[in-house]
């Protein structure tokens, strides 16, 4: 895993620099997602490394499947990855790129897990509270999980708040059995 991350790092830096220069972070996110989906397909995986399929043919295949979701830089990027035998690391490139993008845009993603669905007004209040606590804009991804019974669990990259009824019951149970 560390080797894949190391292989991806120079490509990530190059893509990030291009995106920053063009102020097109979202465009590169879309392109990297499209490329990743094609490369992750099981049919494509069978062709990657096949002795009868050239690197140029692989690049052309990815470019054709991605179609209009690519700009000229995206097409050149695919050709470069293919020529260097690095199409297999494109999902890692996309992952590392999103981290750099989030930092550049001062954005953090948070997962909000609740027992029942919450409305957009409640989501906005939670996002505002998280922004005040974390000092960054927050993009909430909401998930419902009835097993929580009530309350919520909030997760970011390096922080977890578990205010669920389930967690409170587990704490009480542990305290009573001690």
Q: Which domains does the chain have, with CATH numbers?
A: 2-102 (1.10.520.20), 107-177 (3.40.30)
Helix (H) or strand (E) run with residue 6 in it: helix 2-22
pLDDT of residue 28: 97
The pLDDT score that the predictor gives to residue 1 is 55
pLDDT at 77: 96
The whole-number pLDDT of residue 154 equals 93
pLDDT band at 83 (very low <50, low <70, confident <90, very high): very high
pLDDT for residue 134: 85
pLDDT digits (tens, 9 = 90+) for 10-29: 999 999 999 999 999 999 99
Given pLDDT bands bounded at 50, 70 and 90, which one contains residue 49?
confident
Quick: pLDDT tens for 84-123: 999 999 999 999 999 999 889 888 889 999 999 999 999 9
């Amino acid at each position: 895993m560390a080797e894949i991350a190391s292989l991806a790092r120079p490509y990530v830096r190059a893509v990030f620099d291009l995106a920053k220069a063009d102020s097109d972070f979202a465009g590169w996110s879309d392109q990297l997602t499209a490329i990743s989906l094609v490369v992750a397909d099981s049919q494509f995986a069978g062709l990657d490394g096949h002795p009868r399929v050239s690197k140029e043919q692989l690049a052309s295949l990815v470019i054709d499947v991605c179609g209009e979701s690519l700009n000229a830089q995206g097409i050149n990027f695919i050709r470069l990855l293919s020529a260097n035998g690095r199409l297999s690391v494109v999902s890692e490139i996309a992952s590392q790129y999103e981290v750099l993008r989030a930092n550049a845009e001062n954005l953090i993603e948070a997962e909000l897990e609740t027992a029942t669905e919450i409305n957009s007004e409640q989501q906005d209040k939670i996002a505002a509270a998280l922004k005040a606590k974390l000092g960054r804009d927050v993009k909430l991804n909401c998930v419902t999980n009835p097993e929580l019974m009530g309350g919520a669990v909030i997760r970011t990259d390096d922080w977890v708040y578990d205010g669920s009824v389930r967690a409170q019951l587990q704490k009480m149970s542990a305290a009573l059995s001690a």
